[in-house]
Amino acid sequence: MGPTPGYHLAGKPQYCSLRLVAFLLIILLFVFFGRKDVLVLTPWLAPIVWEGTFNIDILNEQFRVQNVTIGLTVFAIKKYMVFLKLFLETAEEHFMVGHKVNYYVFTDRPADVPRVPLRGGRRLLVLEVPGAARWQDVSMRRMEMIGSFCAQRFLREVDFLVCADVDMRFRDHVGVEILSQLFGTLHPGFYGAAREAFTYERRPQSRAHIPRDQGDFYYMGAFFGGSVAEVHRLTTACHQAMMADWANGIEAVWHDESHLNRYLLDHKPTKVLSPEYMWDEQLLGWPAIMKKLRYVAVPKDHQEIRHR
């Protein structure tokens, strides 16, 4: 496991300053000479990652020098196991190619985890967890389990953690350009909408509540991450908020995603991923601004899968 970017050069302040200046210059070059058809910076100056806003060769070299290991968590509970093989096969083709990766598969069916050939420096680690009666419970307990394993082992084993849904597939490059201390992904259904249209939790009784005059973006719960320490803070806070709601007899409208949106409103992500990193072509087509479709939904019957 390599050092966390930005924190391993404490004895070389001049070197740090030069690297920071170079990094800011690269960002400014992409802002002024890159994409003009999409928003590329948040109001708090975090980059929004689209095709044409990064140089992957420079970034790959930066992260290889730091010798980072990336963890990818995925939950294959009950019948969702059917999606795992395609998820892993396409991850091997497109996810963090050339870098060390630990796949962390949370499942109640460890014997059914498929054998998928892995590149060098990549490992598949199966973490057995109990199932749940409702898919909503699986979704909400994900925060608790990720937070718990961050403390137990992820902090020692990886530098960054990417948390993904299993009923998806990688279709194009998803690499180190997404890595940051804390990142969220724009929901494909709301990336062009006014915040009044966002499906935040609107009931004040919930800890996930966001008033109609507040909000930056609507983030998808199916793809988020950051440094292990930041993911630990996020998942722990969301789990505690969900437990507080449960004690008060309320469940947020979109479960853990509602709490994720509340957290990212209060703790601004240092990088935001465009809908290239979370798309459903069957529902949304392929608009011209989407130069790449990187991580996409697998066609499915939600009701049939969730209730089998």
d(CA 144, CA 38): 35
| Residues acting as catalytic residues | 257
Other CB atoms closer than 10 Å to residue 121's CB: what's the count? Answer: 12
Parallel/antiparallel/unpaired status of strands 48-49 and 160-164: unpaired
C-alpha span between 177 and 157 (Å, rounded): 21
User: Could you tell me how far CA 277 lies from the centroid of its own chain?
Assistant: 9
**What DSSP letter does each residue of 3-57 carry, written as one string?**
PPTTSS-TT-HHHHHHHHHHHHHHHHHHHHHS-SSS--B-TT--BEE-TTS--HH
Token pair recorded at residue 176: 């180190």
Give dist(CA 167, CA 296) in Å, integer.
Answer: 9
